[in-house]
Amino acid sequence: MTQPPATNPSDSTPAGEAFVALWAEMGTHWGVPRTMAQVNALLFMEGRPLNTDEIMERLSISRGNASMTLRTLVEWGMITRRHNAKDRKDYYAGEQDVWKLFATVARTRKQREVEPLIARLQALLASAPAGNEAQRHKIEQMLEFVKSFDALANRFLGLGGGAVQMLARLMPAS
């Protein structure tokens, strides 16, 4: 897969700015903080590493907000941090392969949402009093569904970005 050429920091275009705004809007619908989605979209669209000052300037955000957001994105594996010895600054790069990016987002969401849901359903089932077998059965059904979904997600995400893309091409269009 060929990579698009990196852009220049002064190459901010209406389309690029609109993408950052769109990604931020969508992120809020997915439960992702707006700034986190904006930074991720900016680094994706930019195609080259940016330092904190550049990110702050481009998105008009505070240093504290930028630092906290960058740290979280690094922890989630969404971006990488690189140190530049020449100017003694950290630079941040976003994943440029959309399939790998999706897989990382899905893996992070699964860890933060699906795995805790399984644990809570198991605890609920363990603490459910005997006597209402219909409710226990419904909780068991939901637990088995979520576990199956989790196993399927593990297999799907374990294939990596390229394999996920290949599977998507093999699936018939609806």
Mean pLDDT is lowest, of 8-22, 64-78, 91-105, for 8-22
Question: What is the rounded CA–CA span in Å between residue 78 and residue 83?
Answer: 17
Q: What is the pLDDT of residue 174?
A: 67
Burial of 147 (0-12, 13-18, 19+ CB in 10 A): middle
Question: What is the rounded CA–CA span in Å between residue 41 and residue 35?
Answer: 10
Q: How confident is the model at residue 7 (pLDDT cuts 50, 70, 90)?
A: very low
Query: What length does the chain have?
Result: 174
What is the value of pTM for the model shown?
0.75
Q: How far is CA 37 from CA 9, 66, 105, 157, in A?
A: 19, 12, 11, 21
Q: What rounded mean pLDDT belongs to the chain?
A: 88
Q: What is the pLDDT of residue 84?
A: 87
Whether 130 has a pLDDT exceeding 90, the answer reads no
Q: How confident is the model at residue 11 (pLDDT cuts 50, 70, 90)?
A: low
Beta bridge partners of 94: 79
Q: Which phi and psi (to 5°) does residue 9 adopt?
A: -60, -25
Whether 165 has a pLDDT exceeding 70, the answer reads yes
* Residue range 99-110: mean pLDDT, rounded: 85
Q: How confident is the model at residue 8 (pLDDT cuts 50, 70, 90)?
A: very low
Q: What is the pLDDT of residues 58-71, one digit of tens each?
A: 999 999 999 999 99
Mean pLDDT is lowest, of 18-32, 49-63, 155-169, for 155-169
Q: How far is CA 55 from CA 5, 43, 91, in A?
A: 19, 9, 10
Question: What is the rounded CA–CA span in Å between residue 21 and residue 5?
Answer: 22
